[in-house]
A and B are shown apart, each in its own frame.
Chain A
Amino acid sequence: MSGIIIVWSVTIAQLVLVAAMACALLRLVRGPRAQDRILSFDALYVGAMLLLLTFGMRAGSTVYFEAAVVVALLGFVSTVALAKFLMRGEVME
């Protein structure tokens, strides 16, 4: 019983998260400006991180957690670097 509930809810959640990532990807392609693309990239990596967590629940292991942490870290650093780049045209001071 509980196995069925978990498998179904995880599957639906994964489909919903993939749809969310697809929306963000569409905005990423559409633009129109660089800041829109960076914003949708930000949303994209949050979706990827949540998707990794649902994979971890499906497999019943916590290994995916580390991957999710790495995705979150890389996403934050790249978003900040890109936003900084927009402001000055150069990343480092």
Chain B
Amino acid sequence: MTPLADLPVWAALLTGFFLLLGSVLTLLGSIGLLRFRSFYERIHAPTLGTTWGTGGVLIASIIFHSVLQSKPVLHEILIALFVTVTTPVSLMLLARAALYRDRSEGNDGVPPFETVAEPRDEQRRSSNT
């Protein structure tokens, strides 16, 4: 813990602020995940953690390591880019999978499949089964 004492106070305060902001937003997202009642509401909750939750912790980490090593340490940006690109992909896939499962079981509260549009490969297969 000796190198921490070299850190200027403004950097420590800034790091602490962003760190707490990020972690609290992640916690709120998880609480939302626990509290919301339907799956389609729950899918909104983790995006709190993956946008400004991750962003806050990463900004804190960048400030902390950059000031500590007195050179810019920017490789946290890679995580930020990666999370920004991958979260929509996994959430979209999950939403489509949930919709597909709900439709094939005939559950309520799900919009019907459109026959106007050209059906895609997965949906054509789902209408057969």
Contact = CB atoms under 8 A, between A and B. Distances in A.
Interface of A: 1-3, 5-10, 12-14, 16-17, 19-24, 26-27, 33-36, 38-40, 42-43, 46-47, 49-50, 53-54, 56-57, 60, 62, 65, 68-69, 72-73, 76, 79-80, 83-84, 86-88
Contact of A87 (B50, B86, B90, B122): B122
B97 A16 contact: no
A19 B58 CA distance: 19
Contacts of A12: 20, 23
B30 A47 contact: yes
B46 A87 contact: no
B90 A42 contact: yes
B15 to A, nearest CB: 6
A1 B57 CA distance: 21
A26 B1 CA distance: 34
Chain A, interface SS category: helix
Interface of B: 1, 3-5, 7-9, 11-13, 15-17, 19-20, 22-24, 26-27, 29-31, 33-34, 39, 42-43, 45-46, 49-50, 53-54, 57-58, 60-61, 64-65, 68, 73, 75-76, 78-79, 82-83, 86, 89-91, 93-94, 96-98, 100-101, 122, 125
Nearest to B35: A23
A20 B30 contact: yes
Nearest to A35: B98
Contact of A20 (B12, B29, B100): B29
B39 A39 contact: yes
B94 A35 contact: yes
Contacts of A57: 15, 19, 60-61, 64-65
Contact of B27 (A16, A33, A62, A79): A16
A54 B9 CA distance: 19
29 contacts: A2-B9, A2-B11, A2-B12, A8-B16, A9-B12, A13-B19, A13-B57, A16-B23, A16-B27, A20-B31, A35-B94, A35-B97, A39-B46, A42-B90, A43-B29, A43-B33, A57-B61, A57-B64, A65-B76, A72-B82, A73-B82, A76-B86, A76-B90, A79-B90, A83-B94, A84-B93, A84-B97, A87-B93, A87-B100
